[in-house]
Structure 1
């Protein structure tokens, strides 16, 4: 493919769409890889897939294979789901939640997300979903951004407590955050302190792809 080869020299745009939640979304060939980007950041595949892959590797692929149900809050193009299904070969149930119907439509069109048989996609606000769901999960992945911004509710105690409740014993939270200034650093420090108070055992993977910090929190078996 000519566009793919050319992308090793310069990014090649494939499609651009408007979105109510993410504003401008673009599908681009970049360094031989098809990626989804917002105006200012990578949304799926590319660096984001590498970031979350590091978190999954830290959890352990073998441990993930033994899980029954994974919840992904913030699907975008579905790169973390592709890692789970294509690389780890996870065959249990995956529920993906995203507020943006347009981004899911693009994920289906360009990345074949709707061809994954063990995936259920729910178009909903993540906060509303975690309040309503009756299921329990072995792994909850939180990867929610609006361009480079992260919604405040993600760091509030109520949301953390709800995540703790939804995890099965020994369940794991994998939370992708972005650190752009000292306020973000303080926000993450306070968040991790809250997780410790809830009884999580936390692990930090700092400065992944420069601006991202992964938080892995393991629930006790009690």
Structure 2
């Protein structure tokens, strides 16, 4: 593919569209790989995939392989799902929740998420899904952004407690955050204080330039 080869020299944009939620969405060949970007940040298959892969490695690929169910809140192009399926060889059920139907259409069209047999894609608001699902999970990945903005509800007790209630004993939360300002640092510090002795929390700053990860294990 000529576009793929040329992308090692300069990014080659192949698709651009607007959506009601994410405004600008772009699919681009970059260094031989297709990536999905919003106006100001990478959404899938670039720095974001590298950050989340490191988070999964912190939890342990072999441990993840034995999990019975995984929930992904914020699918975008599905790069973390591809890491789970193609690199970790995860065979059990993955549920991916994405609020933007246009993003899901791009994920299926350009990244073939709809061809993954053990994946169920749900077009829904993550907040609403967490409130109404009756399922339990061994791993919950939270990766929700609107461009460079993280919704406030992610850091509020009501949402945190509901997510925690969906987690099986010895299960993990992998939470990807973006830290651009001192206010973001204070927000994350407050978030980390919300998990008491029944959880083991670790924070990994500067995973990529602006990404800070949390891994949270449910102990009791």
Aligned mates of 1:200, 1:183 — CA distance in 2:
25
Aligned-residue RMSD, C-alpha: 0.8
2:15 is aligned with 1:38:
no
Deviation at 1:158, TM superposition (A): 1.1
Deviation at 1:208, TM superposition (A): 1.2
Aligned mates of 2:132, 2:72 — CA distance in 1:
15
Q: Which residue is equivalent to 1:203?
A: 202
Any residues of structure 2 matched to 1:155-166 within 5 Å, and which? 155-166=155-166
Task: Give the 4+ runs in structure 1 shifted more than 2 A.
Answer: none
Any residues of structure 2 matched to 1:48-127 within 5 Å, and which? 48-127=48-127
TM-score, normalised on structure 2? Answer: 0.99
CA deviation map 1:58-109 (0-9, x unaligned): 0000000110000000000000000000000000000000000000000000
Q: Which residue is equivalent to 1:215?
A: 214
Q: Which residue is equivalent to 2:167?
A: 167
Aligned mates of 2:111, 2:87 — CA distance in 1:
15
Aligned mates of 2:108, 2:166 — CA distance in 1:
28
Indicate conservation of the 8 Å contact 1:161/1:198, yes or no.
Answer: no
Greater shift in the superposed pair: 155-164 or 135-144: 155-164
CA deviation map 1:99-131 (0-9, x unaligned): 000000000000000000000011110000000
TM-score, normalised on structure 1? Answer: 0.98
Deviation at 1:198, TM superposition (A): 6.7
Tell me the secondary structure at the aligned position of residue 207 of structure 1: coil
Deviation at 1:3, TM superposition (A): 0.8
Aligned mates of 1:160, 1:107 — CA distance in 2:
27
CA deviation map 1:186-210 (0-9, x unaligned): 0000000002x37321111110111
| Alignment gaps of 5+ in structure 2 | none
Any residues of structure 2 matched to 1:143-162 within 5 Å, and which? 143-162=143-162
Aligned mates of 1:157, 1:171 — CA distance in 2:
19
Aligned mates of 1:79, 1:86 — CA distance in 2:
10
